[in-house]
Structure 1
Amino acid sequence: MIDPLARVRTPADPACDVYLTGAVFLDIIFTGLDSAPVRGTESWARGMGSSPGGVANMATALARLGLHTSLAAAFGDDKYGEYCWETLERGEGIDLSRSRTPPGWHSPVTVSMAYEGERTMVSHGHEAPPPGPEPAAASVPETRSAVVSLAPDRPQEWIAKASAAGSLVFADTGWDESGRWDLAALPDLAHCEAFLPNAAEAVRYTRTDDPRAAAHALAELVPLAVVTMGADGAYGVDARTGETAHVPAIVVEALDTTGAGDVFMAGFVTGSLAGWPLADRLALAGLTASLSVQEFGGSLSAPGWNEIETWWRNAQALTPPRGAESGGASGAESGAEGEGPSLVERYAFLTGLLPAAGEPWPRRRAVPTLGFRG
């Protein structure tokens, strides 16, 4: 497996690259629906898959990109939880030493229905019982980085501790159901290295009318601000250097968009820890997200380096560079004006990272059942 941090690792570095905590769901995904379910009728889906979900989406995406990942989470004391634990620990190599299985607590479940490029979800679950005197989330390992999801008026004490210990904290957020969209309600933002909201969230939080303007406003609060813009790609601002970058999205036919934002975050964290230019980080993040939506599920759809290498070989064969003089196009304002670099030029940084084609690394994918009897 490729180690994207091989060039920057030293013997004194922590064993953990990324730490995260959250809830693990069992996801059941239906695809191939012609429309949303209609009240009083039965709908048949042409495809179905099951996989770990929730924070497992992010953890799996990080691990498949070669980062040493530690997850602190509650797993259900049932067959669903057993399946999720085995899939993440044995199948993906994720460190679950800080995770737990509360006795008698059942796994939360989400049913996702994908149609017309959108998805509708129904979830059920109960909050996990509180842990013992030393909460798993408070026992943060020595780690290069941490990934968090910020929610209004819900500060998490461990974030400040991780940041103070030298961890780079990467954060996203969700929809503010209160409608206040007040950045002051996200006090942990002060401890974050990077903030990656989507365009709808970013413009509301900053009271702007443009995602790029929102990114620049957020860069006054965090060193790195990235706004994801769906089909328009992503725009980032590095407040330390003044660097900006826009990388267009790779247009694909999406089977299931579950977890695409988590996979984007994983790609950006990987490039950031490796010390890449901002545009290359956004490019890897967008590429991994585009590859993930072509498979079932949010966690087991995440690509590894073999899938990236296969895409890169095909991209070079189908879209040769416009001219050798264009080079790798790692410029600060990639694609911001004019035609911008070609696809091959934009992703030329992969050439020095990916190996020659070899045996594909076996990856689990979401399947209709939790496991066939064998």
Structure 2
Amino acid sequence: MPACGNEPSHQSREYTVTSRDSRTSRTADLDPLDSAAADLDPLGPLRDPLEPGFDVYLTGTVFLDIIFTGLDSAPVRGTESWARGMGSSPGGVANMATALARLGLRTSLAAAFGDDHYGEYCWDALEQGEGIDLSMSRTIPGWHSPVTVSMAYEGERTMVSHGHEAPPPAGPGPFPQCPPRTRAAVASLARGRTEPWVAEAARRGARIFADVGWDESGRWDLAALPDLEHCEAFLPNAGEAMRYTRTDCPRAAARALAEKVPVAVVTMGAEGSYAVDGRTGETAEVPGIAVEELDPTGAGDVYVAGFVTGTLAGWPLGDRLAFAGLTAALSVQEFGGSLSAPGWPEVAHWWRTVPETLRPRYGFLDALVPPGGEPASRRRAVPTIGFRHPV
């Protein structure tokens, strides 16, 4: 994971990333109503001239994701499998950064990028394509981009990754400026690891949201997550939450976690999610939305992005869970992790066509999205990493 440094900013590219798929052209004409949805700022009423420069800061590893879908089963040893679909997109921490930016949050990402074509593609896709601030990121000469191949089948996925840890920046980094002034930050917790920037961000007033990965040691000890003490919200999945709390029920796990962190959110896959606000005692549960799933890559990251958006906007706990679950459900209907993330035009289109049975739970969207229109075109994952010239 890269440290924030004072390396020179990335040089501009001589080509732009475009797509052959007419659905994905970023230059397509937008319906005026959907232009309004695309420009929707969920924090608009809260902004003032003295606000932090960014809404969310995050750091981590950017992968080049290659995704195969339409597999009838897992690959079998000694055979060749053909996928009916394929997509490429930035992955890893880029999944959450893109999801946050597409929901209108001013997002700052600190990451290392290789100086290969994969790194160029990922940088351009994030900075030019999504408007993510990469001023704290750096390009490393001679370092190749990490790559993940993801195979989706039967609602599951299998991944193979390759990469090397990025070398640290030369010389001491300007830690007091790392991270930048921000309303919130997203941290990925790992057993026995402390990230100094988390405590620094919290000290400077940022609200810290955290998820966690699988504990390969099998110990599942909350005390081994030292940065949890700086977090406002912790969002593990049900399996992780129950192991950390030694409980056999996701709801019991959330209640136990709420004794350690102000807000505990436990995601339960297709069943939805459950949350407890330990400060007020409030609880909320929202069932999942049934959709035809294409690729689950990055759905958890999109969920966190939706919850962060609702929290910063000051929504009630139940609405935050509903919005996070909706954005995750919309994401699994597209290829890839980052470029499958929905924005407000997709949310608006879903709200215009939602079944009547779901309207009461999602009624808060009425005050957020403009009526009428169709979803705007948006860049999606395509089989190649990008064409050099418009097609």
TM-score by length of 2: 0.88
Residue 7 of structure 1 deviates from its aligned partner by: 1.6
Alignment of 1:121 with 2:167, yes or no, is no
Among 301, 307, 314, the alignment partner of 2:340 is 301
For 2:314, the aligned partner's letter is G
- Counterpart secondary structure, 2:97: helix
In the other structure, the counterpart of 1:108 is 146
For 1:141, the aligned partner's letter is P
In the other structure, the counterpart of 1:233 is 272
- Counterpart secondary structure, 1:203: helix
Alignment of 1:32 with 2:70, yes or no, is yes
For 1:294, the aligned partner's letter is Q
Residue 361 of structure 1 deviates from its aligned partner by: 3.6
For 2:100, the aligned partner's letter is L
In the other structure, the counterpart of 1:95 is 133
In the other structure, the counterpart of 1:193 is 232
In the other structure, the counterpart of 2:184 is 145
Among 353, 359, 366, the alignment partner of 1:314 is 353
Whether contact under 8 Å (1:16, 1:69) holds in the other structure is yes
CA distance 1:135–1:228, change in 2 (3 Å)? farther
Q: Which stretch shows the higher mean deviation, 47-56 or 11-20?
A: 11-20
In the other structure, the counterpart of 1:223 is 262
In the other structure, the counterpart of 1:367 is 382
Whether contact under 8 Å (1:147, 1:171) holds in the other structure is yes
Whether contact under 8 Å (2:53, 2:180) holds in the other structure is no
Provide, for residues 258-302 of structure 1, a one-character-per-residue CA deviation record: whole Å limited to 9, x for no partner: 000000000000000000000000000000000000000000000
Whether contact under 8 Å (1:292, 1:301) holds in the other structure is yes
Among 254, 269, 272, the alignment partner of 2:308 is 269
Residue 373 of structure 1 deviates from its aligned partner by: 3.9
Alignment of 1:213 with 2:252, yes or no, is yes
Among 307, 320, 337, the alignment partner of 1:281 is 320
In the other structure, the counterpart of 1:339 is none
Provide, for residues 202-230 of structure 1, a one-character-per-residue CA deviation record: whole Å limited to 9, x for no partner: 00000111100100111011111000000
In the other structure, the counterpart of 2:92 is 54
Residue 305 of structure 1 deviates from its aligned partner by: 0.3
For 2:91, the aligned partner's letter is G
Whether contact under 8 Å (1:99, 1:136) holds in the other structure is no
- Counterpart secondary structure, 1:372: coil
TM-score by length of 1: 0.92
- Counterpart secondary structure, 1:3: coil
CA RMSD of aligned residues (A): 1.2
- The CA distance in 2 between the partners of 1:11 and 1:258, in whole Å, is 37
- Counterpart secondary structure, 1:7: helix
- The CA distance in 1 between the partners of 2:44 and 2:271, in whole Å, is 32
In the other structure, the counterpart of 2:119 is 81
Whether contact under 8 Å (2:57, 2:182) holds in the other structure is yes
Higher relative contact order (CA 8 A, sep 6+): 2
Provide, for residues 111-156 of structure 1, a one-character-per-residue CA deviation record: whole Å limited to 9, x for no partner: 0000111000000000001113344887210000000100000110
- The CA distance in 2 between the partners of 1:136 and 1:108, in whole Å, is 26
For 2:90, the aligned partner's letter is P
- The CA distance in 2 between the partners of 1:371 and 1:220, in whole Å, is 47
Whether contact under 8 Å (2:66, 2:149) holds in the other structure is yes
Segments of structure 2 that go 5 or more residues without pairing to the other structure are: 1-38
Whether contact under 8 Å (1:292, 1:302) holds in the other structure is yes
- Counterpart secondary structure, 2:127: helix
Residue 239 of structure 1 deviates from its aligned partner by: 1.1
Whether contact under 8 Å (1:72, 1:136) holds in the other structure is no
- Counterpart secondary structure, 1:271: helix
For 1:59, the aligned partner's letter is A
In the other structure, the counterpart of 2:31 is none
Provide, for residues 6-46 of structure 1, a one-character-per-residue CA deviation record: whole Å limited to 9, x for no partner: 12222221120000000000000000001110100100000
Whether contact under 8 Å (1:52, 1:84) holds in the other structure is yes
Whether contact under 8 Å (1:98, 1:136) holds in the other structure is no
Among 361, 376, 384, the alignment partner of 1:346 is 361
- The CA distance in 2 between the partners of 1:216 and 1:139, in whole Å, is 33
- The CA distance in 1 between the partners of 2:86 and 2:212, in whole Å, is 28
